[in-house]
Structure 1
C-alpha cells in the first residue's frame, strides 16, 4: 500500500512480481507511476487516504484483505499504516511498515501508537541504518522496539533511469562553463539553505561560483534577503518548482544538501550522484552511508558554514578531484544502491516473516 509512489518504489513492486512474489498494490491514481503499475497488472485498489482515521479508506482496504489472498501487508506511509492496522484487525496477516526519515516517533505521542509503535507491526523497514539506530534507541521505562523487528533496506535505483540531457543553465543567467552548485529541496528550516548561502559568502573573492536553488525556495523572503546581503547576489538563482530537477543537477558541478537534521536517504542526492555529479552533504541521517567522505563526495558537519565553504573551495580548486569523486559517486549508486538488491532484500524479509523459502 502506497500513495503517490516514486520510481524506486514502483520498480521494487514490479521487481518483486518478476521474482515470483504474488504481489498486488493499492495506490493513489493521481501518482506519476500509477499507470506504470496498472500496466504491469499490479493494481487491485485505487486509494487516496485523507488521514490516519479515514473510515472509507479503511473499509476499502478491509474489502481487499478479506479475499484471503494475502500473507503480508507492506505499507509505505503513516496514513496507510494506521488504516491498514485497523483494516486487518482479527486477521492473520503480517504488517510491514516503511520508515524513510528520523524523528517524530515517541512513546509519549499517541499517534505513534497507532502507527510504528503499534504492537501488531511485525517489521519496520528503514531506508538507512541511521534510521534503524534511531528507532532502536527509542525507550520509555521498559518499552522499546525489539531489534529483530527493525531492518535496513536501502531504496534501490538504476542508472538507466537517469538519461535526461543536462539542462541549459544559461536560462537562469548562468554563463556557459561557470562553476555551478545545485541544491534542491523543500522550503523547510531543517534543510539548511541559510547555511549554504552563508558558506558562499565565506569563499575568497577570487572564487566565482553560481548557486542554483531548485524548489519552492523562491517564496522564502528571509532567504532572499540573506542572498541580497551577499557580495554577489546575482550569482544565486532561484528556479522555483521544476519538474526537470534531475537535469538541472546533471548540468551542475557540485550538488549540495546542507541539512541540519532528520534526513533519511535523500533521492535528490542519489539522482545527482547517478549523473556523476559530486555531492557535498552534511553528517545527518543516512547521508554519510550514501556518500563516502573523500571517495564519492564530501561530508561536513551540519550547521557549519565554514566547513561547508572549505569543502566547496576544495572542489573548486581541484578539478581532478571533483571529476574523480563524481565518477565514484556514479559507480556507488550502480554497485551499492541498485534496485535489484532492494528486491532481493525485501523478498528475503517477506519469506522470513511468513516462514516460506
Structure 2
C-alpha cells in the first residue's frame, strides 16, 4: 500500500527536516492545543492554555489546507488539538488519529473529563506513547499504546559495544534539561549524599531551560527565588564548591549523546511526571538499565526488578539506595542491562511502530 504524506507544521527548523521526507509540507503559525501535564501547576497550565488562544485563527487555515489535500486520514501529533479535530470530524468527515505524549495531571479532574469527552466525540483512535499515558485516560474508548521508535537498524544493534559492568568506577547518568519536574533536586541530593564514595561518579547532561541573561534579570531572580524557574546550573556549581564534590561532572549540552551514554552504567530518571522519558530506552538499547520514579507504579518500559528499578516520586533516599544497590551488585546490574537492551530493541523497533501505526490506519479506513 502506497502512502502520500502531507505535513502541516509550525514555522521553524522542522520545516526543512520534513521536506526531506515529503515535498508536501505546509507552514502555519501554530495550532491551539489544550494542555495538561503531570506536576505542572495551575498558573503554568492556565498560562499555556491562554497562550494557545492566539492561534485559533489558524484552525480555519488548516481546515482549508486539509480540504484541498483530501486525505484519507488526519493524524494530529499531540492530544489537546480538539478545536481542529472537531472541524475535521464534523465538516470534512475524515477519520482522526491523535497522539498523546504526556501524562495528564491527575489532580485536574475537570481537564481530564474534558479531554476524555472531546476524544470520545472527535477522535477515532488515540495513540499513547506509553502505558503510563494510557493509564491516565481510563474512560477513553478507542486508544492503543505504540511506543516511540528508536532510530537503530539491525546492523547497528549488532555493533553495539558491550558495557563493562564490572568497572571499578560506576558512572550514573542524568540526561534531561533542568526542569524542576525532571527530578534535578533529587539528583543533586543523591550526589551530595554519596559524595564520600568516589567509585560512584555522576555524569550530568543537560542545562537550564532559561538563559543566564534571564536569571540575571530582576524577573528571573524573582522566579528563581520563588522556585518557579530554578537556576539549577548555579545551584549545582554552588553545591560542588560548598561540599567540595569530586563525584560529579557537568557536561551541559553535548552533541554526541550516544557516546556519553555508552560510557555510563546506569541512567537515573527521578522525575515527577508519572511517565517514562525517552532517555530510558535510548540508554536501554545500549544495555544500560534505569531507575525511574513513578506515582503509579505500573510495569511499562521499566519493569521493577527485571530491567531496572521503579521508585516513588520525590524520594531521593530511594534513589540513593537504588544506586548503591546496583553499584554493589554488578550481576544484578548486568541482568537488568541485558533485559533492558533485549526489550527496547524489540518493542521500540522502527518497523514495529510503523506496522502498528499502519494497522490503525487500515482499520479506520475499513470502517
Distance (Å, rounded) in 2 between the aligned partners of 1:275 and 1:114? 37
Distance change >3 Å, CA 43–CA 125, structure 1 → 2: same
**Any idea what the Cα deviations from partners look like across 1:73-104, whole Å, max 9, x if unmatched?**
11112575544544665110122211111124
Distance change >3 Å, CA 60–CA 44, structure 1 → 2: farther
Hey, what does 1:156 align to over in structure 2? Answer: 149
Hey, what does 2:273 align to over in structure 1? Answer: 261
Conserved 8 A contact 1:107-1:117: no
TM superposition shift of 1:177: 7.2
Distance change >3 Å, CA 238–CA 83, structure 1 → 2: farther
SS at match of 2:12: coil
Q: 2:185 aligns with which of 175, 189, 194?
A: 194
- Counting only pairs closer than 5 Å after superposition, residues 90-169 of structure 1 correspond to structure 2 as 90-104=91-105, 108-109=110-111, 112=114, 117=119, 119-136=121-138, 145-146=139-140, 148-160=141-153
Distance (Å, rounded) in 2 between the aligned partners of 1:293 and 1:243? 31
Gaps of 5+ in 1: 1-18, 137-144, 167-175
Hey, what does 1:249 align to over in structure 2? Answer: 261
Hey, what does 1:25 align to over in structure 2? Answer: 7
Is 2:293 the counterpart of 1:292?
Answer: no
Gaps of 5+ in 2: 33-51, 162-166, 210-230
Distance (Å, rounded) in 2 between the aligned partners of 1:314 and 1:217? 30
TM superposition shift of 1:349: 1.8
Is 2:337 the counterpart of 1:330?
Answer: no
Distance (Å, rounded) in 2 between the aligned partners of 1:111 and 1:86? 20
Hey, what does 2:227 align to over in structure 1? Answer: none
Q: Indicate the larger mover: 216-225 or 240-249.
A: 216-225
Distance (Å, rounded) in 2 between the aligned partners of 1:42 and 1:177? 52
TM superposition shift of 1:207: 4.9
Instruction: Give me the CA root mean square deviation.
Output: 3.5
TM-score by length of 2: 0.73
Distance change >3 Å, CA 271–CA 321, structure 1 → 2: same
TM superposition shift of 1:110: 11
Distance (Å, rounded) in 2 between the aligned partners of 1:47 and 1:111? 29
Conserved 8 A contact 2:73-2:95: yes
- Counting only pairs closer than 5 Å after superposition, residues 1-357 of structure 1 correspond to structure 2 as 20-28=2-10, 30-31=12-13, 34-41=15-22, 43-49=24-30, 51=32, 52-53=52-53, 54-55=55-56, 57-67=58-68, 69-78=70-79, 81-86=82-87, 89-104=90-105, 108-109=110-111, 112=114, 117=119, 119-136=121-138, 145-146=139-140, 148-160=141-153, 178-203=169-194, 205-217=196-208, 219-220=231-232, 221-230=234-243, 232-263=244-275, 265-284=276-295, 288-355=299-366
Conserved 8 A contact 1:258-1:303: yes
Conserved 8 A contact 2:174-2:204: yes
Distance change >3 Å, CA 36–CA 217, structure 1 → 2: closer
TM superposition shift of 1:58: 2.4
**Any idea what the Cα deviations from partners look like across 1:161-207, whole Å, max 9, x if unmatched?**
978999xxxxxxxxx97422111112222221211222233348345
Distance (Å, rounded) in 1 between the aligned partners of 2:187 and 2:319? 7
